[in-house]
């Protein structure tokens, strides 16, 4: 989705439990490197999005993965139940497309080019005006 709207992105493998220091450092430095939104993909205990949100004021989107004995329901509950003041936007289990779309919407708030592409896309869905 990000490629479709011309948004540059990066991919990192981080873990709230296995690499907590690297995860915290990544989140703390993200805004200073020009990132505008973070997407944390996580399963099972799904702490990654919350840990990211705890170390940055950037918007964080949590993407729960299907897997484990509860098929992602545990991850969904973990991500959506953040404490007040440290929000994480959450999309459906395995719905990476919506995580990308939500990131596009966030970036479109400050990027006219992305906003134009998003408006054109939404018009293509058939029920949006100018």
Q: What is the pLDDT of residues 34-90, one digit of tens each?
A: 999 999 999 999 999 999 999 999 999 999 999 999 999 999 999 999 999 999 999
Quick check: pTM over 0.85?
yes
What number of residues does the chain have? 130
Distance of CA 18 to the CA centre of its chain: 20
CA separation for the pair 37, 114 (Å, rounded): 14
The reply to whether 106 falls in a domain is yes
Any domain includes 41: yes
- Specify the pLDDT at position 126: 85
Q: Is residue 2 part of a domain?
A: no
Q: Which domain holds residue 92?
A: 20-125
Q: Is residue 59 part of a domain?
A: yes
> Rounded to a whole number, what is the distance in angstroms from the first to the last CA of the chain?
22
Contact yes or no for 26/57 (Cβ under 8 A): no
Residue 10: inside a domain? no
CATH of residue 92's domain is 3.40.50.1970
Q: Tell me, what's the pLDDT at 128?
A: 65
Instruction: Please count the structural domains in the chain.
Output: 1
Q: What is the pLDDT of residues 95-128, one digit of tens each?
A: 999 999 999 999 999 999 999 999 999 999 887 6
Question: Does 4 map to a domain?
Answer: no
* pLDDT score at 26: 98
**Residue 105 belongs to a domain:** yes
Residue 40 lies in a domain: yes
């Amino acid at each position: 989705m990000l490629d479709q709207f011309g948004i540059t992105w990066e991919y990192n493998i981080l873990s709230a439990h296995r690499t907590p220091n690297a995860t915290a450092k990544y989140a703390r430095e993200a805004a200073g490197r020009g990132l505008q939104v973070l997407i944390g993909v996580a399963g099972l205990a799904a702490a990654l999005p919350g840990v990211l949100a705890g170390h940055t004021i950037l918007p964080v989107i949590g993407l729960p993965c299907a897997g484990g004995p509860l098929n992602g329901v545990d991850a969904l509950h973990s991500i959506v139940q953040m404490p007040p003041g440290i929000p994480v936007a959450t999309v459906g289990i395995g719905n990476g497309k919506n995580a990308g779309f939500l990131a596009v919407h966030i970036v479109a708030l400050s990027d006219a080019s992305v906003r134009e592409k998003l408006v054109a896309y939404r018009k293509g869905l058939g029920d949006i005006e100018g």
